[in-house]
Amino acid sequence: MAELHVLGINFIEINTQQELEFTYKPEVPKLQLVGTLLIAESEDEEEGVLFLTQKQLNQLIANKDIDLKLLEDRWYLNKPLTKEQVKKIGLVDIDANYMGDAGELKCYEAISVN
């Protein structure tokens, strides 16, 4: 298990890939957040995909004044994150399982959001 921190959000969409096997609540639909992830152990920042539930997403972005807009089945930031918002999101600990690579993106499944 890895500890992740989200440092940036490119977009969020509903996961449509059926072949993925999730370990955390596999019956609950997942969202996929594509953005910049910080791997705490190695302190590496990389572009990646984080699969998470709606509740986990709410825990991540709640009370951080993040404004999302829906365009063609994807949610985008209405305006870029401020430094303060990046700090607030970056402080949220996410325990996640590494699922593999999708092209150049590393994929993780969120197990818990603290």
Mean pLDDT by 10 residues, the chain (114 residues): 94 91 93 96 92 95 91 94 93 95 93 94
**Length of the chain measured in residues:** 114
**pTM for this predicted structure:** 0.93
Pick the closest to residue 64 from 52, 50, 79 (CA basis): 79
Domain definitions of the chain by residue range: 2-113
Dihedral (Cα; 79, 84, 86, 91), 10-degree rounding: -150
24 secondary structure, DSSP code: S
